Structure 1
Amino acid sequence: MTEREQPPVPVEESDKVVAPKAGGLMRSGLVVSVMTMLSRVMGLARDVVIAALFGAGQGADAFFVAFKIPNFMRRLFAEGAFNQAFVPVLSEAATRGSRREVRELLDAVAGSLAAVLFLLTALAMFAAPWLVWVFAPGFGRDPAKLALTADMLRLTFPYLLLISLTAFAGSVLNTWNRFAVPAFTPVLLNLSLIGAALLLTPLFEQPAMALAWGVLIAGMAQLAFQVPFLVRLGLMPRPWPSFAHPGVRRIMALMAPALFGVSVSQINLLLDTVLASLLAAGSVSWLYYSDRLVELPLGVFGIAIGTVILPALSRRHAEQSGEHFSAMLDWAIRAVLLLGLPAALALALLAEPLLIALFHYGAMTERDIAMAAMSLRAYSLGLVAFMLIKVLAPGFFARQDTKTPVKVGIVAMVANMVFNLLLIWPLAHAGLALATALSAFLNAGLLGWLLRKQGVLVFQPGWGRYAVQLLGGCAVMGLALAWAAPEWQAWLGWGIWQRVAWLAALVVGGAALYFAWLAATGVRLRHFRMKS
């Protein structure tokens, strides 16, 4: 990968661990952003293939639910609670402990995690029909759809075991500033699903079953990809369950409340799926396609920045460097607003053109585009809030404070349920998306307010001028896109290359105007340099 090599953990000459070296947060964030962009682009290519072959019909709905269940748990446990609890404990051990202590921690955590996940996977495969009924109760009205989804779930659920171990490996690599490898790994999922859709579909009586096999293959490929990099660092664990290990016990104690604190947005999306299964056929797929477009900027900007600041904040907390800790949080908020505001505006203004250019092929109908555009605009309203959650939550988890975010998470989830009930009747599936956006703003607002109240987040000078610069740039970009973009109905009659050319021109032109405005008003790249 492109990252500068860092010294591995010493093997013979010393028992003292060489802690990960500090690097530039902007550089690390750029590395993760580039790799994540590649992954998201491949993900969009995957969704284009799935939309063309399966549209928004029964097979697509069944797969999206069968994939969403383990994927939801993966985000909740592996990349959510586990990552946020494990990284601070590992960073502290790497900063203060010995090589032997680090290796014992890795062995115990890997073994304990694998044992729990193996048992959970076996139970889930046995109880697949009941799980489907819980996560998508509307499918119970169609026994064939329920049975198909359950069969798919038995293939997709082992993905949780494999991808959680992959997330464990990625957390270790991130702690040692190897951000590119974990960020690239999701590309393998998209390649596996594209290959399965194109090559395995003819082999099954139910064509969508090929996608379930693609998920299982992807899990094995992602885990195998990261193993050589752990070996190279001398950090490959020898898994052995040890729930009595002090590090494992600390991680478990931190994980329990973290399940709510960092993953509330995923729980809200799951609630959308449950309620959408009760609405008109296709509602699950409309929400899925619109959510996929929101996930592109969220992953490239918000998750990338949140990924690089968690180990950096954890090290600063271990070093008791409060001033630098606060400056990092301020930097992260500025960075996500720099890119999140124009991305949200562009998604709202170009909803139909984006969906048409990417998905209006094969089985995807004009009605599907119109319905998905409604939920995409609703989700786009909450994009900035989704991003802020990703960078504010580490401010708590890096200090090993998981009790405060859980309280915020519970409030946000209850609010999301209320918003769902209020908005689902007048707006149907778009009301579910809007409820998720509103609860995300509540979540982010409470996290920021509490960090300020605790004195952890202290805004640096210049925020007033910066806000004017960002809003001015968004206004210039928005007016230009509204004037230049053709009516979306015209896009339906164009071929793929004309759609792509127009979309590229609008995106590149809008971004150029936005950054030109920022440059003209004094925003410079050096303003975003920050050492980890």
Structure 2
Amino acid sequence: MTKPEDSQEVGPADVKPAAGLLRSSALVGMMTMLSRVLGLVRDVVFARFIGAEAGADAFFVAFKIPNFLRRLFAEGAFAQAFVPVLSEYRAQGSIAAVRGLLDRVAGCLGLTLVMLTGVAMLGAPVLTAVFAPGFLDDPVRFPLASDMIRVTFPYLLLISMTGFAGAILNSYDRFAIPAFTPVLLNVVLISSAILAAPYFDPPVMALAWGVLAAGVIQLLFQLPFLARLGLMPRPKVDWQDEGVRRILKLMAPAIFGVSVSQINLLLDTVLASFLPTGSVSWLYYSDRLSELPLGVFAIAIATVILPGLSRQHASEDPQKFAQTLDWAVRLVLLIALPAAVALVILSQPILMTLFQYGKTTPADIAMSALSLKAYAVGLVAFMLIKVLAPGFYARQDMKTPVKIGVIAMVSNMLLNLLFVLPFYFLWNIGHVGLALATSVSAFINMGLLWRGLAKEGVYRSVSPWGKTLMQLVFANLSMAAVLLILMTRLNGWAEWLWTERVMALALLCVAGLVVYGVALLATGLRPRHIRGVH
């Protein structure tokens, strides 16, 4: 038995002051970077072993459906509704109340997910027809996708409970463990593709079982860290609990508000299923690359600021709240603009270096490069959405993001029709129209979120924007010029060995980063300007 005085439990009054936002964001960013790098390795393995054939399309659909719902439940609506309520319970000073909330949320969330998973597994063909209607007449892709959905869908239950555990750890400023957890998914999927695939028929089915195994491993990995805090939930189903009811009330509208970009990407998959074979895979590979800066930086910053914003709102400190939001917006722009420029210029070399091996053809790379450019156009908006939305959720305002989210989603649907038809019939690249529509709708979403925060007086800049914008424009133009010049000197990517491609791409990345940093320093930007608030 552990003596009370030796307990590792953390009560509301025992929490140490949070580290600086930049340091915490850097920690989460480093862990996420490790995960994303392994994610790229995973996708390189996928490209080599399954390419962009029918089996690949079927797997990406089967994986995207529970992964999409995971983002709604684990990273999206649930986290945004749960963290502010948990922060209030902590502020009240009662560890017993915190434990009670965790027990009842675990019970209600777990029961809901078990029921949803069971229904989805029974109705897998219906899900395939809904999310990939273009597969209906395909004798290979439709049954294969349905079979894989039955295997992959329990991942939603497992990873959502993992997200619940991660939200608790983040609320207590334990950011590293939840940020590291996705690494395990990539390790398991890489192992499944290389080691297990030869024992399955078809081999791609090994990836579906790998997804399920990864869900189990990720959940088990986080539980000991909850136990060390003395916050291991004992699930109890109590729908009448005040905390549960508040979370449900906040969560329902947040499903749309925080996950619009993911809904738009899923709509892309639905429409892409009607386009030529390979379209789903081309969008997948390009989306994965565009999500690298989104996941490493924007989600890391958003993860760190949400608990802080919730505490600042609970303690009625609007000045600190505004400073935190302003810091996050400026830091995102500092990262997102050069990332977008680099992805547009280096799209084909990056894709060739990572994916043009085995079953992935030069034509696949060319098609993926076009959609990557289209996604890169909206990267700034995608990243700003991630840090602007917490400005609403920390104040438990879910209605405003919902209205904005519905407008953005409807806009995306209309833009899909406006862009896809001409792109498909004129140039036979309908998937590029899908990506471009998603980017434009993201700017609509971002602009409305920004205007809403400013209108309510919640977000206001702490210093003039004029100088900052001039610094960013100069630095990005300088970087773009250097990259374009170097690109003209580096020819023959298709003929090079993978080692030569990696060295050339590393040269381009380092050169671009150095020029960007030197240009910012030349315009007066210093590290102290981006350290954030404490």
Taking structure 1 as the reference length, the TM-score comes to: 0.97
Deviation string, structure 1 residues 406-462 (Cα, Å, up to 9, x no partner): 000000000000000010012200000000000000000000001000000011213
Partners of 1:22 and 1:531 within 8 A in 2 = no
1:49 aligns with one of 33, 42, 45: 45
Q: Tell which deviates more after alignment, 382-391 or 13-22.
A: 13-22
Aligned Cα RMSD in Å?
Answer: 1.6
Report the AA paired with residue 261 of structure 1: G
Partners of 2:9 and 2:230 within 8 A in 1 = no
Give the whole-Å Cα distance in 1 for the aligned partners of 2:140 and 2:296.
38
2:409 aligns with one of 404, 408, 413: 413
Report the AA paired with residue 445 of structure 1: G
1:231 aligns with one of 204, 215, 227: 227
Give the whole-Å Cα distance in 2 for the aligned partners of 1:44 and 1:79.
21
Give the whole-Å Cα distance in 1 for the aligned partners of 2:456 and 2:309.
16
Give the whole-Å Cα distance in 2 for the aligned partners of 1:74 and 1:43.
17
Deviation string, structure 1 residues 305-354 (Cα, Å, up to 9, x no partner): 11100001000000000000001110000000001000000000001000
1:471 aligns with one of 473, 476, 484: 473
Report the AA paired with residue 130 of structure 2: V
Offset at 1:19?
A: 4.6
Partners of 1:36 and 1:299 within 8 A in 2 = yes
Deviation string, structure 1 residues 55-91 (Cα, Å, up to 9, x no partner): 0001100000000000000001221000000000001
Q: Tell which deviates more after alignment, 236-245 or 371-380.
A: 236-245
Partners of 1:10 and 1:99 within 8 A in 2 = no
2:300 aligns with one of 304, 307, 311: 304
Report the AA paired with residue 291 of structure 1: D
Partner of 1:112: 108
Give the whole-Å Cα distance in 2 for the aligned partners of 1:305 and 1:15.
25
Partners of 2:11 and 2:93 within 8 A in 1 = no
Report the AA paired with residue 501 of structure 1: M
Report the AA paired with residue 212 of structure 2: L
Offset at 1:521?
A: 1.3
Partner of 2:129: 133
Partners of 2:226 and 2:232 within 8 A in 1 = yes
Report the AA paired with residue 380 of structure 2: V
Give the whole-Å Cα distance in 2 for the aligned partners of 1:236 and 1:105.
12
Offset at 1:145?
A: 1.4
Are 2:365 and 1:369 aligned?
yes
Structure 1 residues 16 and 132: CA distance shift in structure 2, 3 A: closer
Are 2:156 and 1:160 aligned?
yes
Partners of 1:15 and 1:100 within 8 A in 2 = no
Offset at 1:519?
A: 1.1
Offset at 1:520?
A: 1.5
Question: Equivalent residues in 2 for 1:70-85 (5 A)?
Answer: 70-85=66-81
Question: Equivalent residues in 2 for 1:115-194 (5 A)?
Answer: 115-194=111-190
Report the AA paired with residue 455 of structure 2: K
Question: Equivalent residues in 2 for 1:381-530 (5 A)?
Answer: 381-427=377-423, 428-486=430-488, 490-530=492-532
Taking structure 2 as the reference length, the TM-score comes to: 0.96
Q: How many pairs align?
A: 525
Structure 1 residues 492 and 12: CA distance shift in structure 2, 3 A: closer
2:211 aligns with one of 208, 215, 225: 215
2:347 aligns with one of 347, 351, 363: 351
Deviation string, structure 1 residues 276-303 (Cα, Å, up to 9, x no partner): 0000000000000000000101111111
Are 2:256 and 1:260 aligned?
yes
Q: Tell which deviates more after alignment, 67-76 or 138-147.
A: 138-147
Report the AA paired with residue 480 of structure 1: V
Partners of 2:8 and 2:228 within 8 A in 1 = no
Give the whole-Å Cα distance in 1 for the aligned partners of 2:10 and 2:339.
49
Report the AA paired with residue 286 of structure 1: W
Give the whole-Å Cα distance in 1 for the aligned partners of 2:202 and 2:316.
57
Segments of 5+ residues of structure 2 without an aligned counterpart are: 424-429
Q: Among the aligned pairs, what percent are the same residue?
A: 60
Deviation string, structure 1 residues 332-390 (Cα, Å, up to 9, x no partner): 00000001000000000001000000000000001001100110000000000000000
Give the whole-Å Cα distance in 2 for the aligned partners of 1:256 and 1:408.
15
1:40 aligns with one of 23, 36, 47: 36
Are 2:282 and 1:286 aligned?
yes
Partner of 2:426: none
Give the whole-Å Cα distance in 1 for the aligned partners of 2:26 and 2:206.
35
Q: SS at the partner of 2:140?
A: helix
Partners of 1:82 and 1:255 within 8 A in 2 = yes
Report the AA paired with residue 321 of structure 2: F
Question: Equivalent residues in 2 for 1:324-363 (5 A)?
Answer: 324-363=320-359
Segments of 5+ residues of structure 1 without an aligned counterpart are: 1-7
Give the whole-Å Cα distance in 1 for the aligned partners of 2:433 and 2:499.
33
Deviation string, structure 1 residues 87-128 (Cα, Å, up to 9, x no partner): 000011112240100000010111111000000000000000
Report the AA paired with residue 478 of structure 2: V
Partners of 2:9 and 2:231 within 8 A in 1 = no
Structure 1 residues 14 and 523: CA distance shift in structure 2, 3 A: closer
Offset at 1:144?
A: 2.6
Partner of 2:427: none
Report the AA paired with residue 223 of structure 1: L
Give the whole-Å Cα distance in 1 for the aligned partners of 2:136 and 2:11.
59
Q: SS at the partner of 1:309?
A: helix
